[in-house]
Amino acid sequence: MTALTLLDRPSPAVAVLTLNRPDRRNALSTALRDEISDRLAHLATDADLSVLVITGAGPVFCAGFDLAEFEQAAADPSFSDRLWASSDRYHHAVATFPLVTLAAVGGPAVAGGFDLAVLCDLRIASTTARFSHPEYTFGEVVYGPLADIVGGGLARELCLTGRTLTAPEARAAHLVSDVVEPDELSAAALALADRVALGDAGSLRRTKAKALARSGLSREAGTLEL
């Protein structure tokens, strides 16, 4: 069975977690979310690690939640409970991870994939990146983390209209720190991660803790309360 995530360690201070469902555009199935949560729980205890890069295999960063599972959940209340419990755990695992997180966004980051990018501390994108919330047509959109980064005005526009933000627009809005060619994304992300990792490990953790405290994120908040 192919692993749903791949973990690489280019240096003691830097790890790279790759979503590995390219055939499904890295859609966040319950199994993939649970594996990400498990990986983060383990990595959070790694005393040598300072930065985690999160990226996706193939031409799409992440297409969001696996919509086929919502059809299953509609017919199976027990699976519905599991789906939402998995979702809540996953969102909080990413949002409250105690180390610095960097999303390397190659290609579209759609719906929950957009959320994954904004739940990270830093973002770098390829020219093929696109950010959008098409799910606004049929459900609620995660709003708070995006608003913290780009401000309420733009966040409301993106969450209430589903407008697609291109990579240059994302750079202009300070959603991403840089835009590079697709074949340069990995190297650029690792260079930024290495720059972060020059910081004192304890100080980086304390600064991340300050950022989390200021965000006001509650561990009791469900996915759709974010």
| pLDDT tens digit sequence for 71-124 | 888 888 888 999 999 999 999 999 999 999 999 999 999 999 999 999 999 999
Catalytic residue positions, numbered:
135
Domain holding 129: CATH number? 3.90.226.10
Would you state the pLDDT for residue 74?
85
User: CB burial class (10 A; 0-12, 13-18, 19+) of residue 19?
Assistant: buried
Half-sphere exposure of 73 (CA within 13 A, CB side): 16
Q: Quick one: tokens of 7? A: 């973990």
Q: How far is CA 25 from CA 115, 144, 171, 176, in A?
A: 15, 25, 23, 21
How many structural domains does the chain have? Answer: 1
Average pLDDT, the chain: 94
The structure's pTM equals 0.95
> pLDDT digit string (tens) for 46-59?
999 999 999 999 99
Amino acid letter for position 72:
Q
The Cβ of residue 92 has, within 10 Å, a number of other Cβ atoms equal to: 21
Q: What mean pLDDT comes out for the span 114-141?
A: 96
* Domain limits for position 29: 5-225
- Where does the pLDDT of residue 218 fall: very low under 50, low under 70, confident under 90, or very high at 90 and above? low
